[in-house]
Amino acid sequence: MNRTIALVAHDNRKKDLIEWVEFNKGTLLRHKLICTGTTGRMVEAALMQNRAKNEPLPEITLLKSGPLGGDQQLGALICEGKVDMLFFLWDPMQPQPHDVDVKALLRISSLYNIPTATNRSTADFIISSPLFEGEYKPQLKNFSDYLGRSIDL
C-alpha cells in the first residue's frame, strides 16, 4: 500500500532523522513523502545520494519551513486526510519560536488518529510494524455531536 508520510525534524534532531531516513531508504522510496523546509531538502539529498539506477526517484512534497508556516500547512493536510502518518523528531530541550504551531500539529495528528512518532524509537516501531505496509485504516472519531451541538449566545 502506498502511503503519504510526513517527515519533520527540529534543527537539533535533523541529523537523527537523516540517519533514520538513510537506514529506511528502501522502505521510504515506495511511499510519498511530505516534508517541511530544510528537513525536506536534507531528506531529498539523503535519498538521492548513492541511488542505484533501478531505484525509484523519491516523491517528495516540500512545504514551507516550520516557523514560516510549514507546520500549519502540514496540519491542514492531515485535516484533509492527505497524510497517513507523521514522523516528527522534535527537540524537547530547545525552545522553539513556533512552539504553538508544533503543539497544534501534534494535537491535529492525535485528533485525526494518525500514527505519530516524536522520537526515533517510536519511528522504528512504526516502520517495522506489519501494519505499516498493510491495509490499516485508523479509526476516526465521529465529531457530528460536537459539530451539531447547540451554542448559547
Compute φ and ψ for 130, nearest 5 degrees. Answer: -60, -25
Q: How far is Cα 42 from Cα 17, in angstroms, rounded to an integer? A: 9
The chain-wide mean pLDDT, for the chain, equals 91
Query: On the CB side of 83, how many CA atoms lie within 13 Å of its CA?
Result: 30
Tens digit of pLDDT for each residue in 79-108?
Answer: 999 999 999 998 887 767 667 888 999 999
Q: What is the mean pLDDT of residues 38-57?
A: 88
Q: Tell me whether strands 85-89 and 32-36 are parallel, antiparallel or unpaired.
A: unpaired
Identify the residue whose cell numbers are 532523522: 17
**Residue-level pLDDT at 142:** 85
Q: Where are the domains of the chain?
A: 4-147
* Residue 31 in grid coordinates: 511511499
Given a cut of 70, is residue 119 above it in pLDDT? yes
To the query of whether residue 71 is one of the catalytic residues in this protein, the response is yes
**Residue-level pLDDT at 97:** 67
In which band, very low, low, confident or very high, does the pLDDT at 43 lie, cut at 50, 70 and 90? very high
Tens digit of pLDDT for each residue in 54-86?
Answer: 887 889 999 999 889 999 999 999 999 999 999
Which among 16, 71, 101, 145 is annotated as catalytic? 71
- Cα-Cα end-to-end distance for the chain: 48
Contact 74, 83 (CB under 8 A): yes
For 137, the 3-state DSSP assignment is coil
| CATH class of the domain whose range is 4-147 | alpha beta
Prediction pTM value: 0.90
